[in-house]
Chain A
Amino acid sequence: MTQDDLTITDPKMKAHGVDVFYGEKQAIKNVSIDVGTDLVTAFIGPSGCGKSTFLRSLNRMNDTVASARVTGQITLDGEDIYAPSMDVVQLRARVGMVFQKPNPFPKSIYDNVGYGPRIHGLAPNKADLDVIVERALVRAGLWDEVKDRLAESGTALSGGQQQRLCIARAIAVDPEVILMDEPCSALDPIATAKIEELIHELRGKYAIVIVTHNMQQAARVSQRTAFFHLGTLVEYGKTTDIFTNPKQERTKDYITGRYG
């Protein structure tokens, strides 16, 4: 792993020597990585390389898997997120997540977005909640499409709209980091383009980490790229370097389509 030309001066999240186990099986081996505050970081690699597993350990979603175990250190603004003093509920409010398949709740569009702010008590009254919901939907680029039908079910939207609704839902709790686990893999090219555009617009407001299968997508949306293979971090660097001048043979083979 090379870190010489990395210019992350103020990392939002730092992982150091992270191992993740599912029962006996080790899915992540000794991964250390810094996530920049106003950058988009892409995790790429072949299926089963552990990139999603690692992403899910950044907001402790692996806690929901009974057999999963994480060792090593992951910090958010210098705080160890696996420390006993860390409240997982607050952590997840600060590190939001968007999933592979759009998963809106079977509630109205308004309630989907309002769900997070409500449970965290961010909106003392209806007017405040209205403002939060509108702002989140505007940021997610969905407001113009849904402003006249906020009471309709979120599940009635198209796949791409559902995914933007899920992004709006994550934005609504005002997180610092947004994790995206292959957010476009279930979408058509037009919806994908819209999500990518949205990621561009959100950059700088949130630290964004995106897992993707699609190397062109990683090249388009990210400034930093990490290449995972067989549970290890093979190479991490500026996206332009990774794609034009990879230092590792395995990275080169992967991005030139030799395997994956």
Chain B
Amino acid sequence: MTFNAAALLLLIAGLALIGWLAGRARSNLLAGRAGKKLHSRPQYHGWYVALWLFAPAALFLAVWSAVSPGLITNQVIATEAAQSLPEFGFERGAILSDARAVAQGKQAAVRLPAAAPLVKPYADASHKYAWIGIAAMLALALAGGLYAFTRIKPDFRARTRVEKIVMLFLLLASLVAILTTFGIVLSLLFESIRFFRLVSPAELLFGTEWAPTSGAPQPDTFGGIPLFWGTILIGAIIAMIVAIPIGMMTAVYLTQYAAPVVRKWVKPILEILAGVPTVVYGYFAALTVAPALREFAVMLGIPNASTESALAAGIVMGVMIIPFVSSMADDSINAVPQAMRDGSLALGATPNETIRQVLIPAALPGVMGGILLAVSRAIGETMIVVMAAGLSANMTANPFASVTTVTAQIVKLLTGDQEFDSAKTLAAFALGLVLFIVTLLLNIVALRIVKKYREAYE
């Protein structure tokens, strides 16, 4: 007898269905007997019973599934057979999980001889806790169901109750993403703190030498400046030089000049481009743009031209960001009231003067917000830079040279066999934290600007 959460969930769902039918029938019966009209329609009484039956039991099931393995292991460790186990570490864990696998029937026989005497205690404990869990769950389900069932009366406001419970579920659903993000930040933070015990934050933030894999003879250095510079060069400078003018011109064309038919086709196509997987852009950057740029640079006689260049990654990233910038700029220009445009045209301004001197200045805050969001996307972008920008941490303003970015280095630090307690690995988390904070700040500022700007025209 083991504890099978999925089967049990089905069981209580079945009970809930019975509860639903029973609740509905009882409400009809009581109403008929009392000769009164029901406050809520019968199915709401059914839902009320079903929810009371299902929700507490399901919640218990979730908690129990998380807690019971620990309880089982504790009981096994307390037995005499477990006293001979090694104190700590991998060996102890391996023996325990070996015994557990056999006890649960996932494995025919033990692989480690030391696990053999533990199989029986494990099976016993599993059995015991499974029964406790099932009994408690059923008791809870029945208690909840009975409680709800006895409350049914013709004038009982089942609909209000059910709606409240549904609202609670909706609230929980909306919290999932937020709580998950919070958890991610915490895990980043803890690993980063471990890193900062080994390396000072000042070195990461202001150091100019990045060489985490230099090996034993020299100590590793974790100066983040070359990475930050590479990130800014690619994401905030080159990509934006490409994306801002092209995105703006696209938006101006689409909002002011394009015939409705053109707009009807071009705008959705641009929006689809925003959904192209970045790895596809990465191929394009690495296989097509980068070699072409290198040849061009060699032709010009530029030193240090590399097939992995900041320019290739930046240009392709800029192209990737164009739909983003153009759609934000499009929204902002469209949000400028028609009255503003009419006012300018009525003064004898040409459409061109109107766009340059009235529409774009009026839309500028919104456009700026969009650009900041685009920058925050660009600096967090990983695939293109991993494939096209290279991994050598150079501090150079030469766009034809190879540079590296924060995201590319995180990938490099975390791929391959790594122990999770070396400074090298932990550095990835610290870099991730820095990136997270910077993009978070950028997003906050950008959304503020956009919001303020929207208010100005409402």
Contact = CB atoms under 8 A, between A and B. Distances in A.
B413 to A, nearest CB: 48
Q: Chain A, interface size: which category?
A: 20 to 34
A115 B345 contact: no
Contacts of B357: 115, 119
A91 B362 CA distance: 26
A81 B260 CA distance: 27
B343 A92 contact: no
Contacts of B86: none
Contacts of B348: 89-94, 116, 119-120, 173
A96 B343 CA distance: 10
Interface string B337-372: 101111111111110010001100110000000000
B339 A101 contact: yes
A39 interface: no
A64 B343 contact: no
A92 B341 CA distance: 14
B347 A115 contact: yes
Contacts of A173: 347-348
A166 interface: yes
Nearest to B359: A105
Nearest to B457: A106
Interface in A165-193: 166, 169-170, 173
Contacts of A49: none
A99 B349 contact: no
Interface string B255-269: 000001000000000
A221 interface: no
A158 interface: no
A107 interface: yes
A103 B353 CA distance: 17
B171 interface: no
B456 interface: yes
Interface string A63-77: 010100000000000
A35 interface: no
A208 interface: no
* Residue of B340, B348, B350, B357 ringed by the most chain A CB atoms within 10 A: B348
Contacts of B344: 105, 115
A41 interface: no
A64 B347 contact: no
Contacts of A106: 340, 361-362, 456
Most chain B beta-carbon neighbours within 10 Å: one of A59, A92, A96, A120: A92
Interface in B128-178: none
A140 interface: no
A99 B340 contact: no
A104 B343 CA distance: 8
A131 interface: no
Contacts of A104: 343
Interface in A124-169: 155, 166, 169
A173 B344 CA distance: 12
A86 interface: no
A210 interface: no
Contacts of B339: 99, 101, 103
Contacts of B347: 92-93, 96, 115-116, 119, 169-170, 173
A59 B357 CA distance: 21
Contacts of B337: 103
A101 B343 CA distance: 10
Nearest to B341: A64
A8 interface: no
Contacts of B362: 105-106
Given A105-B358, A106-B362, A64 B456 contact: no
B380 to A, nearest CB: 32
* Most chain B beta carbons < 10 A, residue from A119, A155, A166, A173: A119
A218 interface: no
A119 B345 contact: no
A107 B362 CA distance: 8
A94 B361 CA distance: 26
A61 interface: yes
Contact of B346 (A90, A97, A101, A107): A97
Nearest to A93: B348
Nearest to B453: A106
B361 A92 contact: no
A61 B349 contact: no
A24 to B, nearest CB: 17
Contact of A89 (B340, B341, B350): B350
A104 B344 CA distance: 9
Nearest to B350: A89
Contacts of B349: 89, 115-116, 119
B346 A59 contact: yes
Nearest to B346: A97
A90 B346 CA distance: 10
Given A89-B350, A103-B337, A61 B343 contact: no
A84 B362 CA distance: 33
A169 B361 CA distance: 18
A105 B346 contact: no
Given A101-B339, A103-B337, A105-B362, A119 B353 contact: yes
A72 to B, nearest CB: 22
Given A105-B358, A106-B362, A119-B353, A64 B340 contact: no
Contacts of B358: 105, 115
Contacts of A96: 346-347
A102 to B, nearest CB: 9
6 contacts: A66-B260, A92-B346, A103-B337, A105-B340, A106-B362, A119-B357
State the 6 A-B residue pairs at the shortest beta-carbon distance, nearest first.
Answer: A93-B348, A103-B339, A97-B346, A92-B348, A116-B347, A103-B343
